[in-house]
């Protein structure tokens, strides 16, 4: 009977051991394997043989208990089980979490420790969820704690639940003082009733919350946002997020006032400068006329003094007018192609008489790699050079003034050109350098200074140089007493530049062909048609015209043109669509060269039209130079294509 009971217990134990959904491992007191059940193998992804090759102690030890003796000591009748959570490596490389319960089996008679039983449950999913929840809580806590806006939560009964540190600063209350009070204390009973009565449309209510009542009674102007608190898909309350707008409003008002004042000042200066300059031109003109009459020596001296004073006053007025135009944002670049060396030479010639009066040597040097033909605002470049040269001559009692020009960076289609004006004059004290380019500033005090001027010259130079994409700075003359004023400007290079004396292979190609390539003008405006046609004729070519994109497509079917000047905005079919159809219908090796002709001249338009499939771009009003450059590019392209074809 007793044997049958024992057999029954063994069978039950074996069934539970093999069929239990939790992992079970039996480990000797020495820390060696006895056996593991199938659930443990499945949990870790190993076969029984593979798992038994792992250290058995990994499945019974904790971070604090790392020896059999310690583990036995920690287990007693009062503490039959040690529970811990451990991370294990699954066979596929991922980490899993398990809840491990280790117990000790003892001999029934003398209580001698026999072996350990480790029961393991996979808790990876719950652990990951717990970690995510903890991360969310920490992120929410950090967001609320360190947010620059006040955040206050309240329930559907209108009672304040919590708030952050900024809420204390905004309201003057501590959070314990606010907890349990009605939010209407801060936002008003009317706003609270609207939020609670129509919680689905809370967003419309937040617009009316433009103030929070402070503890001392005054209203703090805020920008408020309401956000529902949703738990288990149920709205249980709201957050009110309030941004203090006091400082922002103050800054906006101050900024607007400063802008209005600055604009009014600039407009007033521009108006007054213009009004004063008009009669001054009359004064100077009349003195010139008087000087051409018969005057005695004394009268001529008086009139020359009047003319010199008038000229000085006019220069001052011109400086003020220039500066006021720049300040009010009305100065724009007027770009054209010009000779850099000629511009420099002409500017130097204007300054030579004053330099010769003081016996000052004037020299120039232009680096060989500086391209002569450039595209930019010649007038403003000359104005900057004139100002710097005038200052150099003015502040140099004797010695020399020199101008050097170098190219410090070459980009695609443009160069960064550097100009340096060096003199051997009185120089600038180091403590005064920082204010050199400030408006109305002069190095020598106005009560003791020995030269005339407004103190606007260098400030104007700085504005103009920045307008031309460069910068300006001062350095002391490294060799002797004096100054070096250096500035850079970004100058574009013309599309085609053929040096004198070089053969022009493109021209040879045209001569060989007899200018035989075919040009089509697509333009809906009859005047613009005529202008472009006459320009092309003056350049030695013939052309045909059509009034819209639809007729351009038909014309190309009848006669395959080589070069098409395509207006963009036209009736029936615009230029972009016409260009697309024409290019698609043409053989790959005979596609026409299509030039976009448009009244749009905004920065970036050229790149936009080229990206949309056009080959080149010119803006209206169309100049002969622009058309000539486009034809030169076309001839270059055609010549290169012809050369490549023959080589192949």
* Residue 179 in this model has a pLDDT that exceeds 80: yes
The lowest-confidence range among 86-90, 362-366, 453-457 is 453-457
Element (H, E) at 442: none
pLDDT in tens, 294-306: 888 888 888 887 8
Distances (CA, A) of 154 to 147, 148, 161, 169, 200: 18, 19, 5, 18, 16
Is 160 within 8 Å of 154 (Cβ atoms)? yes
Taking 60 as the threshold, does the pLDDT of residue 209 lie above it?
yes
Give the 3-state secondary structure of residue 424: coil
Give the highest mean pLDDT range of 140-144, 145-149, 316-320, 504-508. 145-149
The answer, yes or no, to whether residue 601 has pLDDT greater than 70, is no
Do the beta carbons of residue 244 and residue 223 sit within 8 Å? no
Q: In the prediction, which pLDDT does 316 show?
A: 62
Strand partners, 117: 26, 103
Do the beta carbons of residue 342 and residue 373 sit within 8 Å?
A: no
Kindly state the average pLDDT of the residues 480-495. Answer: 89
144/499: higher pLDDT? 144
- Quote the mean pLDDT of the chain: 80
Q: Could you give the CA distance from residue 68 to residue 52 in angstroms, rounded to a whole number?
A: 18
Highest mean predicted confidence (pLDDT) among 62-66, 89-93, 312-316, 513-517: 89-93
The pTM score is 0.38
Torsion angles phi and psi, residue 116, rounded to 5: -100, 145
80 burial type by CB count under 10 A (0-12 exposed, 13-18 middle, 19+ buried): exposed
- Give dist(CA 619, CA 631) in Å, integer: 15
534 pLDDT higher than 90: no
pLDDT value of position 526: 78
**Per the structure block, which two tokens stand in for 67?**
């020896």
Rounded to whole angstroms, the Cα distance separating 20 from 38 reads 9
pLDDT band, very low/low/confident/very high, at 235 (cuts 50, 70, 90): confident
In angstroms, rounded to a whole number, what is the distance separating the alpha carbons of residues 305 and 111?
128
Confidence of residue 507 (pLDDT cuts 50, 70, 90): very low
% of the chain surpassing 90 pLDDT: 17
Residue 495 host element (H or E): none
Res 499 pLDDT > 60: no
* pLDDT at residue 619, rounded to an integer: 76
The pLDDT value given to residue 521: 92
H helices of 180-245, where?
A: 184-187, 189-197, 202-206
| Residue 164 near residue 151, CB atoms below 8 Å | yes
Cα-based distances in Å from 593 to 318, 504, 513 = 48, 21, 17
Contacts of 499 (CB under 8 A, 6+ apart): none
Counting Cα atoms < 13 Å in the Cβ hemisphere of 374 gives: 24
**Roughly what angle, to the nearest 10 degrees, separates helices 549-558 and 575-585?**
20
Strand spans (E) along 272-320? none
CA distance 373 to 413: 12
What's the pLDDT at 404?
93
- Give which of 191, 125, 120, 123 is closest to 154, Cα–Cα: 191
- For residue 621, say if its preceding peptide bond is cis, omega within 30 degrees of 0: yes
Mean pLDDT of 214-220: 89
Q: Which two tokens stand for residue 172?
A: 């003057």
C-alpha 537/C-alpha 49 separation (Å) is 96
Output DSSP code: residue 70. H
Contact predicate 62/92, CB 8 Å: no
Q: What is the DSSP letter of 542?
A: -
User: Nearest CA to 616 among 629, 602, 603?
Assistant: 629
Residue listed under structure tokens 């030695």? 540
What pLDDT, on a 0 to 100 scale, did the predictor assign at position 506? 39
Note the pLDDT of residue 509.
40
From 620, 601, 602, 614, select the one nearest 532 (Cα to Cα).
Answer: 620
State residue 637's pLDDT score.
Answer: 78
pLDDT number for residue 445: 41
Closest CA to 366 of 385, 352, 380, 351: 385
Helix then strand count (H, E) for the chain reads 21, 22
623 band by pLDDT with thresholds 50, 70 and 90: confident
CA of 563: how far to CAs of 520, 590, 594, in Å? Answer: 6, 11, 6
Assess whether pLDDT exceeds 80 at residue 642: no
Please report which confidence band the pLDDT of residue 143 belongs to, taking 50, 70 and 90 as the band edges.
low
Instruction: Note the pLDDT of residue 403.
Output: 93
pLDDT in tens, 364-405: 999 988 998 999 888 789 888 988 998 899 889 889 999 999
Give the DSSP per-residue string, 567-622. ESS-SSS-HHHHHHHHHHHS-GGG--EEEEEES---TTHHHHHHHTT-SEEEESSP
Instruction: Name the β-bridge partners of 99.
Output: 85, 121
Instruction: Report the SS3 class of residue 208.
Output: coil
**Which pLDDT score is estimated for 449?**
40
Question: What is residue 484's predicted lDDT score, i.e. its pLDDT?
Answer: 92
Q: Which helix (H) or strand (E) holds 519?
A: strand 519-522
User: Does the pLDDT at position 600 exceed 50?
Assistant: yes
Q: Given a cut of 60, is residue 514 above it in pLDDT?
A: no
Report DSSP state, residue 54. Answer: S
pLDDT grade for 19, boundaries at 50, 70 and 90: confident
Confidence at residue 119, expressed as pLDDT on a 0 to 100 scale: 92
Q: For the chain, give the number of residues.
A: 648
Q: What is the pLDDT of residues 250-259, one digit of tens each?
A: 888 888 887 7
| pLDDT at position 564 | 94
Distance CA 520, CA 536 (A): 11
Tell me the per-residue pLDDT of 24-40, one tens digit each, with 9 for 90 and over: 999 998 889 999 999 99
Domains of the chain in start order, with CATH, are: 9-128 (3.30.450.20), 144-247 (3.30.450.20), 261-328 (1.10.287.130), 336-492 (3.30.565.10), 519-644 (3.40.50.2300)
- pLDDT for residue 610: 85
Q: How far apart are CA 64 and CA 67, in angstroms?
A: 9
The residue assigned the tokens 């390539």 is 517
**pLDDT tops 50 at residue 241:** yes
Q: What's the average model confidence in pLDDT over 486-501? A: 72
Q: How sure is the predictor about 246, in pLDDT bands with cuts at 50, 70 and 90? A: confident
Any idea what the Cα angle at residue 630 is, between residues 627 and 635, rounded to 5°? 125
Reading the block at residue 167, the tokens are 């809420």
Distance CA 270, CA 568 (A): 39
Q: Is the confidence at residue 540, as pLDDT, over 80?
A: yes
CA-wise closest residue to 101 among 55, 129, 53, 62:
62
- Alpha-carbon gap, residue 313 to 519, rounded angstroms: 56
pLDDT of amino acid 325: 60
Q: What is the arithmetic mean of pLDDT over 489-502?
A: 65
């Amino acid at each position: 009977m007793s044997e049958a009971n024992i057999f029954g217990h063994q069978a039950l134990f074996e069934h539970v051991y093999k069929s239990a959904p939790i992992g079970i491992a039996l480990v000797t007191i020495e820390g060696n394997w006895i056996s593991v059940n199938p659930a443990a193998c499945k949990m870790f992804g190993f076969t029984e043989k593979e798992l038994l090759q792992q250290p058995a102690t990994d499945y019974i030890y904790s971070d604090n208990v790392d020896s059999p003796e310690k583990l036995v000591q920690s287990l007693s009748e009062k503490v039959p089980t040690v529970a811990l959570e451990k991370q294990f490596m699954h066979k596929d490389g991922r980490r899993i979490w398990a809840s491990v319960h280790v117990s000790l089996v003892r001999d029934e008679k003398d209580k001698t420790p026999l072996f350990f039983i480790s029961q393991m449950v996979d808790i990876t999913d719950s652990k990951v969820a717990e970690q995510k929840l903890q991360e969310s809580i920490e992120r929410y806590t950090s967001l609320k704690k360190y947010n620059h806006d006040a955040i206050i939560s309240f329930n559907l009964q209108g009672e304040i639940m919590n708030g952050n540190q900024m809420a204390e600063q905004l309201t003057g209350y501590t959070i314990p003082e606010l907890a349990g009070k009605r939010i209407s204390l801060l936002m008003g009973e009317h706003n609270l009733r609207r939020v609670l009565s129509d919680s689905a449309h809370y967003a419309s209510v937040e617009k009316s919350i433009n103030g929070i009542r402070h503890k001392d009674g005054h209203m703090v102007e805020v920008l408020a946002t309401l956000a529902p608190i949703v738990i288990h898909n149920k709205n249980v309350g709201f957050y009110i997020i309030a941004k203090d707008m006091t400082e922002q409003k103050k800054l906006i008002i101050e900024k607007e006032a400063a802008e209005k004042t600055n604009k009014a000042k600039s407009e007033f200066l521009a108006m007054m400068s213009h009004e004063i300059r008009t009669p001054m031109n009359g004064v100077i003109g009349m003195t010139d006329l008087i000087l051409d009459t018969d005057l005695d020596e004394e009268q001529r001296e008086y009139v020359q003094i009047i003319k010199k004073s008038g000229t000085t006053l006019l220069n001052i007025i011109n400086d003020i007018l220039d500066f006021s135009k720049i300040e009010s944002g009305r100065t724009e670049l007027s770009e054209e192609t010009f000779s850099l060396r000629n511009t420099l030479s002409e500017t130097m010639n204007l300054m030579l008489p004053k330099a010769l009066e003081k016996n000052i040597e004037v020299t120039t040097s232009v680096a060989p790699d500086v391209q002569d033909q450039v595209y930019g605002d010649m007038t403003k470049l000359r104005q900057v050079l004139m100002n710097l040269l005038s200052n150099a001559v003015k502040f140099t009692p004797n010695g020399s003034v020199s101008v050097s020009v170098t190219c410090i960076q070459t980009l695609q289609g443009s160069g960064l050109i550097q100009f340096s004006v060096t003199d051997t004059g009185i120089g600038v004290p180091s403590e005064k350098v920082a204010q050199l380019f400030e408006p109305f500033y002069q190095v020598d005090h106005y009560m003791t200074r020995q030269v005339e001027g407004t103190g606007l010259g260098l400030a104007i130079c700085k504005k103009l140089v920045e307008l031309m994409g460069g910068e300006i700075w001062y350095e002391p003359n490294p060799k002797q007493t004096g100054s070096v004023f250096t500035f850079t400007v970004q100058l574009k290079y013309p599309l085609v530049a053929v040096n004198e004396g070089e053969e022009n292979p493109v021209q040879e190609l045209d001569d060989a062909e007899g200018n035989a390539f075919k040009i089509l003008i697509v333009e809906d405006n009859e005047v613009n048609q005529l202008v472009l046609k006459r320009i092309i004729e003056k350049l030695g070519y013939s052309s045909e015209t059509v009034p819209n994109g639809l007729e351009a497509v038909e014309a190309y079917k009848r006669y395959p043109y080589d070069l098409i000047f395509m207006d963009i905005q036209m009736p029936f079919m615009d230029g972009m669509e016409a260009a697309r159809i024409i290019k698609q219908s043409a053989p790959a090796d005979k596609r026409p060269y299509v030039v976009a002709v448009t009244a749009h001249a905004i920065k970036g338009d050229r790149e936009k039209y080229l990206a949309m499939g056009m080959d080149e771009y010119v803006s209206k009003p169309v100049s002969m130079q622009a058309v000539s450059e486009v034809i030169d590019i076309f001839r270059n392209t055609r010549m290169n294509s012809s050369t490549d074809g023959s080589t192949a």
